[in-house]
Amino acid sequence: MFKRSASRRLSLAALAAGTALAALPAAALAQAWPSKPIRLVVGFAPGGGTDIIARAMAPRLSELLGAQVVVENRAGASGAIGADIVAKSAPDGYTLVMGHSNPNVIVPFVFKVPYDPANDFTPIHYIGYVPNILAVHPSVGAKNVDELVALVRSKPGVFSYASSGIGSSQHLAGALFTKITSTQMNHVPYKGSGQAITDLLAGQVNMNFDTMPPVLPHILAGKLRALAISTPTRMPQLPDVPTFNEVGIRGFDVTNWYSVMGPKGLPRDVVAKIADAVKKSLDDPAVKGKLEPQGVLYVGPRNPDEFAAFIKTELTKYSTLVKELGVRAE
């Protein structure tokens, strides 16, 4: 009898210990995290806006989190390749992605992607957005949008615009511009803004509708000519460049937003730690000193729940816009 009771007590104790151990990993993960380097995947080639912002934040994030944050460029398919890598990663907080309007809310409506943009990611922290700028190579004779429209209309299908990839916001911006102005241009997609701008500077393409960070230095240096910007009001970095509304291009609502995201199922405690570190890095004067001159506007959702709701709204918006423009994989 005693042996049976002792055996039963030992079994119950073992069961309780097993249950406690089974519950430990989720709680322990948040307490022990991070214990090794963190990958921050950028779905574009070096030199583009996403890459610039990621590399501006990474050193401060490393300090705040107590682990090295390594920026890893995995370019292709307008950011979808990098997004898919993270979507299929373990939800342990060691593989994150620079969330971007291209792969997260636009590309899935242009061509088939191997992830679900609404359910395969954990929204962590929205960073902000940057405007798109219509910039032309100096060899293009137009000095303003009216002259450009007249020039392009006079030579249908001759002029070209570059983008960071099929289904990118630059692609949509170019398609929207041609629709509003009733013009015809050739779209030339690249694997990121860096490569697109290299060819634009060389005169291999005539113009682009890229974001401010990668084109601003070239505009200020006189290597590119900015004709219009997609903000409601002019930007202090380019006070002489009019908005699209000012030049009569109404409804040009295309911008690029940036964020930090992880795979679905990321523990809330880990999400909170990363979100807090991103917020503090963005508030850091040294990081601000790098991002604000690039035209990053800190307007948008301020916590993970607001960010999740924002993504749903953006998916609806771009689903409609892609259909209206007839944008598709070429």
CB of 190 within 8 A of CB of 164? yes
In this prediction, residues 36-57 reach a mean pLDDT of 94
The percentage of residues in the chain with a pLDDT greater than 70, rounded to a whole number, is: 90
- In this predicted structure, the answer to whether residue 209 has a pLDDT above a threshold of 50 is yes
The three-state secondary structure class of 247 is: coil
Using omega within 30 degrees of 0 as the cis cutoff, is the peptide bond preceding 34 cis? yes
Q: How confident is the model at residue 255 (pLDDT cuts 50, 70, 90)?
A: confident
Q: How far apart are the first and last CA of the chain?
A: 79
- In this predicted structure, the answer to whether residue 26 has a pLDDT above a threshold of 90 is no
In this prediction, residues 182-210 reach a mean pLDDT of 95
- In this predicted structure, the answer to whether residue 11 has a pLDDT above a threshold of 50 is no
- In this predicted structure, the answer to whether residue 19 has a pLDDT above a threshold of 80 is no
Which tens digit of pLDDT belongs to each residue from 81-134?
A: 999 999 999 999 999 999 999 999 999 999 999 999 999 999 999 999 999 999
pLDDT of 4: 46
In this prediction, residues 270-281 reach a mean pLDDT of 97
pLDDT of 31: 67
Query: Is the backbone of residue 157 left (phi > 0), alpha (psi -120 to 50) or beta?
Result: left
Q: Which domains does the chain have, with CATH numbers?
A: 36-130+255-325 (3.40.190.150), 133-229 (3.40.190.10)
The structure's pTM equals: 0.83
- In this predicted structure, the answer to whether residue 24 has a pLDDT above a threshold of 70 is no
Give the chain's mean pLDDT.
90
- In this predicted structure, the answer to whether residue 324 has a pLDDT above a threshold of 70 is yes
- In this predicted structure, the answer to whether residue 315 has a pLDDT above a threshold of 50 is yes
Question: Bridge partners of 13?
Answer: none
User: Pick from 279, 272, 277: which is nearest to 298 by CA?
Assistant: 279
